[in-house]
Amino acid sequence: MNTCSNIINVVRQPCFSKTLALPAIPSLSSFQRCSSSCNKKRKALIFLPPAFEEIEVVTPADVLRRGGVEVTIAGLEGKKAMHGLNCVEIKPDKDLDDICDDFDALILTGDDKASNALCGCKRVEKLLKKQEKECKIIAAICSAPTVLMNFGIAKKKCLTSHPDHEEKIRKCGDYKYKCADVVVDDFLITAKGEAQALQWALTILMHLTDERNACCIAKTMLVK
């Protein structure tokens, strides 16, 4: 089976109507068709809260940069270096309060403490609501979909999360919960957790650029 069919095995939603050569990959919706045919460099912002889950930060940052995306890691506590759950230190590129650019993708990573910090940040809420209004990519993994729930972002969309948060999201009633590793619904890209970080990152890359680029990066990383 094709490498991309294996790694980017996402849930196909009705909004993806166009058939692609690789059936396991959803077609591109209108909000991000320009991709590689456009000279504009795509930009992504990864939020870095305290107590972050390291693999969920580093994986999308690495994969997207390999794929030619300009990635900014923005710290909720300024530009100081922070330790994640497993004592891996990451220094943000910028203080979140200094962010004034528009981004093609906003990326939220997980762990409960990190998600609580994101929920308590008005700047995060403002950026997410602007992103939703403009129908630009919002990606969330592990516990981070509960941040979207907290702010009322992407209601009625299909999503997934870490199993520990499934009941809470289902009870909320604002989302269509899917028990899948990675779920794409229009501008929303969600994933279960650490084990799905690479699959999630490649899916984000595909939607920011194109299918060919994501497949190329997957192959160079020896993804099977």
Q: What's the domain count of the chain?
A: 1
Q: 175 is in which domain, residue-wise?
A: 40-220
Is there a domain that residue 31 lies in? no
Q: What gap in Å lies between CA 72 and CA 8, rounded to an integer?
A: 24
Q: What gap in Å lies between CA 34 and CA 147, rounded to an integer?
A: 29
Is there a domain that residue 8 lies in? no
Is there a domain that residue 94 lies in? yes
Q: What gap in Å lies between CA 127 and CA 122, rounded to an integer?
A: 9
Q: Identify the helix (H) or strand (E) that includes residue 167.
A: helix 166-172
pLDDT of residue 4: 61
pLDDT at 57 over 50: yes
pLDDT at 36 over 50: no
User: 172-185 pLDDT, tens per residue?
Assistant: 999 999 999 999 99
- Based on the residue annotation, tell me whether 142 is a catalytic residue of this protein: yes
Choose, from 4, 142, 158, 215, the residue flagged as catalytic: 142
CATH of the domain at 57: 3.40.50.880
Residue 2 confidence class, pLDDT cut points 50, 70, 90 = low
Amino acid identity of 156?
K
pLDDT of residue 38: 46
Is there a domain that residue 18 lies in? no
User: 59-116 pLDDT, tens per residue?
Assistant: 999 999 999 999 999 999 999 999 888 989 999 999 999 998 899 999 999 999 999 9
pTM for this one? 0.86
pLDDT at 17 over 70: no
Is there a domain that residue 28 lies in? no
Helix 54-66 to helix 211-220 angle, to the nearest 10 degrees?
A: 110
User: 130-143 pLDDT, tens per residue?
Assistant: 999 999 999 999 99
